[in-house]
Amino acid sequence: MKNKNLYLVLSSEYNQKKNVLAIAEQAIFGGVDIIQMREKHLSDAEKIKLGKKLYALCQTHKVMFIVNDDPYLAQQLNADGVHLGQTDLEKYPLIKARQIIGQNKIIGLSTHNIEQFKQALNQGYDYLAYGPIFETKTKDYHIGTSQISQVLAWANLPVVFIGGINLRNIDLVLEKGAQNIALIRAIMQAENITQTVKEFKQKILRGKMQLRINGKPQEIKDNFTLETLISDKGLNPSSIVVEYNAQIMPKQKWAEVILKQGDIIEIISFVGGG
């Protein structure tokens, strides 16, 4: 699982007027990256029937498919992974969930405060969810945005922020460095689902990007060129050589190279004679 994801928690209880498969398809056309099937009120047979259709849809469009709460169902559907809540851990501790779903599948966990988040780090999860950030109708509390930067500073894996996020407040979350956003109502209840997803995705992609500079992960703004990066770091162009994705990049081309997510850059400084 990489960053810059828009994560849809798909649940028919939040929109009983539209077919849930149609919502999923429209969201995929808009650019959603991950779909989680969260259907707490369906029977096991109904979950399997819906899950098979969602799996096929996600496979066709190369969208990650996650099942909520139940690693056995995720395994049966051959989903990409399972998402666990705090209340699931007694029944499905991480070791058991991993045994059920397999070593090459994704396991995510919901966390709702700093203590839960820190405890979940280095346990073996593939990503953590953190929230609710803003007020929602399903929770009687919310965390706010003040802890986002601290959570990201501790994180050594992707963090998905969730809870009451919409087009009016998402910038408050992204400004703190968030790169992965999960939504329920903001997509499920949108008039034009495809267009709404596009707007969310554009906002996420306009945020900061992460690349590696001399082996260390660093964040930069979008639309940075190599020339902008060198200038921003206060480096003297005449005393360095830049390797961009394993290729020496001539100085005259620095202004043409627009940096993108995941780029690897080595900056070598000359000392003395070279």
- The backbone region for 95, taken as left when phi is positive above 0, alpha when psi lies in -120 to 50, beta otherwise, is alpha
How big is the CA angle at 42 (ends 38 and 46), to the nearest 5 degrees? 105
Chain mean position to CA 268: 33
Residues annotated as catalytic (active site), given as ranges = 38, 110, 139
Q: Which residue has the tokens 């369906």?
A: 42
Token readout for 61 is: 């469009």
DSSP string, the chain: --SS-EEEEE-GGG-SSS-HHHHHHHHHHHT--EEEE--TTS-HHHHHHHHHHHHHHHHHHT-EEEEES-HHHHHHHT-SEEEE-GGGTTTS-HHHHHHHH-TTSEEEEEE-SHHHHHHHTTSS-SEEEE---S--SS-S----STTHHHHHHH-SS-EEE-SS--TTTHHHHHTTT--EEEESHHHHT-SSHHHHHHHHHHHHHTS-EEEEETTEEEEE-TT-BHHHHHHHTT--GGGEEEEETTEE--GGGGGG-B--TT-EEEEEE--TT-
